[in-house]
Chain A
Amino acid sequence: MGDYPSRSENATAGDLGVTASRTRAAGSGVSPSSYDEPPIGGGGALPKKARFSMESGFRGLSVSAGAMVLVIIVAIAIFLISKAAPAIGKDTENFLTYKQWFPNEADPKFGIAALAFGTLLTSVIALIVAVPISLGIALFLSHYAPKRLATPLGFIIDLLAAVPSVVFGLWGRDVFQQPVADFSEWLNKYFSWIPIFGGDGPYGQSIMLGGLVLAIMVLPIVTSLSREVFQQTPGMNEEAALALGATKWEMVRTAVLPYGKPGVIASVMLGLGRALGETIALALTLGLVFNISFNLIEVGGNSVAANIATTFGEANETGRGALIASGLVLFAITLVVNMGARAIIYRRREFRDSAA
C-alpha cells in the first residue's frame, strides 16, 4: 500500500523528464538559438523569414488543386466541342429542333430535341415525386422519430444510395414495370381526359416508369442531405419558436425549414444532377422512342445519356460525333440548372451570412 504513491510520483517525474527533453530536442532544430544569434527575447536581431517553408508549400498545393478544377472543365469542354463540331456540320437537319436520330446514314439526319425533352421530363417527374417524400422522411428522422429508430432508418436510406443504378434499372424493367403498367391502365381508364394520361396503350416502358425509377434513385441523396441541414438548426431558434407558442409543426415551419432552405435546394440540385445524367437505368426502363409527347403512360421516352449508351456501339465517326454533341447539350443543361440553383441560394445570401 505504502509504495503506490511514491511509484506514481516517480512515473510522473519520468514523464515530465521525457516531455522536457523532447521539447528541447524539437526546439533546437528550428529555434534561432542553433544559429549564431541569441534566442528570441535575448535582445538580438529577429530571426529571418524562412524562404521555403510548409506554409508556401501548402499554399502552392492548394492553389494548384484549385486550378486543376478549371483545367479539367476547360479540357472537357474543348474535347466535346472539337468532336461535336464536325458532326454537327455534316447534319442535314437542324440539330436543335429535329427529333429523329440517323447520324450513321450517308446524309446524316439527327437532332437533340426529343432526347433533351425526354431527359428533362423524366428528371422533373423524378423530382416531383421524390422531393416531397424525401423532405418528409428527412423531417421525420431529424425531428419526429425517436433516436433509436432514426439512426438505423437513416443508415438504410444511405444504403439505398449505394445501390448501383444498373440494379435499379433491371429491377424497374423486370419487377416494377407490370405494376406501373396496371396503374397506367387505371389512370387511362378514369383520367384519360387529362392529356398526360391519354392514349390507347400499350403501357409499360413509359416516361412514368423511368421517372419513378429515377425518383427512387434520387430519394436517398435528397433525404440524407436534407436531414443533415435540418439537424443543424440551432436549438435556440427552435426554442424561440416554441416559447412563442408554436406547435411542433409550426416550429418546423418557422425555424427549421427556412434555416434549411439553401441546403435543401443544394440537395435537390444534386439529385437533379443524378437524374439528368442517369444512363443505364433509363436505357432499361424507357421505350427508347424518338418523340416529343407529354403522354406519361404510353410506351415511349428517351434520354440523352440512355441514347449514348444504347447507340454508341454501332455508331460510325459522324455518329460518334453526333452522340458527343448530344453530350455537350447535356453538359449545358446541367450547367444552366446549377447556375439557377446558385442564383436562388445567392439571392438571400445576406440573411444566411449574417446568421453564421
Chain B
Amino acid sequence: MAKRIEASNVSSYYGNFKAIDSISMTVEPKTITALIGPSGCGKSTFLRSINRMHEVLPGARIEGRLTIDDQNIYDPDVDVTAVRRLIGMVFQRPNPFPTMSIYENVVAGLKLNGVKKKSVLDDAAEQSLKAANLWNEVKDRLNRPGAGLSGGQQQRLCIARTIAVEPQVVLMDEPCSALDPISTLAIEDLMFKLKDRFTIIIVTHNMQQAARVSDKTGFFSIDKTGDPGRLIEYDDTQKIFSNPSEKKTEDYITGRFG
C-alpha cells in the first residue's frame, strides 16, 4: 500500500517569492524520512507541495515534477482531492473539527468519500483509533467533543482521522511541536507502528526526534533571509548525524548554526 515519492527539481513560489529552489529527492515506501533545518528554510513548503496543499494559499504555485509511483500528481488531469486522499497530512497544531465528536472526527474523511454504512464507519473508527494508540483512552466517550481531549490525544485523534481514509503516504508537519515530552513519545511510538503500512515524511525542529525516528534525513537551509530554501544534504539518518558530507549540515547538527 505504501508508495514511493519522487521529487525532481521542485520549486515552490508564494506569488513572486521563491520559497524553495529545485529540490530533488526520492522517498522509498514504508520508510520514515525526516526533514530538518532552520526556520523559514522551506521544509514545510516542500511538505505541503507533496500533497498539493501548497496551492491552497492565494498566489502559491509550484514548478518541477512530483510523482507518486511514477504518476505525476501535478498533471492537469489529476483530481486534486484524490491526491490529498492518497497523501494524508497531520498538522503542527492539533486541529480536530471543534463541532464534531471524537467518533465524527475520525470518520469525517470517510464520510467525505461517500461512505455511509454505519457498520463500515464504526469498524474504521475503531481500527483507526487503535492504530493511533488512542482507542483505550476514548472508547467509552466516542460521542464527546474531540476538542475536549488533551493536546497529545487531539494530535493522535488527528492522526487517526488521517489514516482512516487509508492513504499511501502520511505527511507530518512538526506534529509534536505543541506537545509535552510524554505525548511526543506516544506519537513517536505511533510512527514506528505506522511505518509498516505507510510512507511517512516528517518535518521537525527537534534533531533528537529526527535521529530517533527516521531512516533518512534531509537537511534544508537558506543562505540568507529572502533566498529560497535548498536541500543541502539527503542521506541515511545514521550518516547525517554521525558523518555528514556537507560542512553546513555538520554546523547545524552540532549547533554551531541555526
Seen from chain A, the residues whose Cβ lies within 8 Å of a Cβ on chain B are: 234, 236-237, 239-247, 250, 254-255, 258-259, 261, 348, 350-352, 354-355
Contact = CB atoms under 8 A, between A and B. Distances in A.
A261 B148 CA distance: 19
Contacts of A352: 98-99
B53 interface: yes
B67 to A, nearest CB: 19
B166 to A, nearest CB: 11
B222 interface: no
B99 A239 contact: no
B59 to A, nearest CB: 12
A245 B91 contact: no
A175 B145 CA distance: 52
Contacts of A246: 81, 112
A236 B174 CA distance: 14
A259 B81 CA distance: 22
B53 A243 contact: yes
A255 B144 CA distance: 18
Query: Interface residues of B toward A: which range?
Result: 20 to 34
A241 B108 CA distance: 8
A258 B53 contact: no
A243 B148 contact: no
Contacts of B96: 240
B145 A240 contact: no
Interface string B77-103: 000011011001101010111111100
A257 to B, nearest CB: 9
A355 B144 CA distance: 12
B98 A240 contact: no
Contacts of B91: 236, 239-240, 243
A242 B55 CA distance: 11
B113 interface: yes
Nearest to B81: A245
Contacts of A255: 97
B161 interface: yes
A24 B108 CA distance: 60
A143 B46 CA distance: 25
A351 B98 contact: yes
| 9 tightest Cβ-Cβ pairs between the two chains A and B | A355-B98, A245-B85, A258-B99, A244-B109, A243-B89, A236-B95, A354-B148, A245-B84, A245-B81
Nearest to B96: A240
B51 A243 contact: yes
Contact of B97 (A237, A242, A245, A250): A237
